[in-house]
Amino acid sequence: MKDTHPVMEERFFRMIMEKTGEERLKMGFDMCATARRLVTASRLIR
């Protein structure tokens, strides 16, 4: 499913690519940590 307008997709891609490799890697680690916290919280609720 692709629900993002192509213009916005290109804009987002350019914005991400303007970051350094280190910044992009840190973003990836931060997203992974957030996903882990969400899964942990979800499992604790059940």
- pTM value is 0.72
> Which band of pLDDT confidence, cut at 50, 70 and 90, is reported for residue 1?
confident
> Which band of pLDDT confidence, cut at 50, 70 and 90, is reported for residue 2?
confident
Q: How many angstroms separate the CA atoms of 22 and 16, rounded? A: 12
Q: What tens digit of pLDDT does each residue of 3-21 get?
A: 999 999 999 999 999 999 9
Mean of per-residue pLDDT scores for the chain: 95
> Which band of pLDDT confidence, cut at 50, 70 and 90, is reported for residue 40?
very high
Paired tokens of 38:
């969400």
Paired tokens of 40:
């942990």
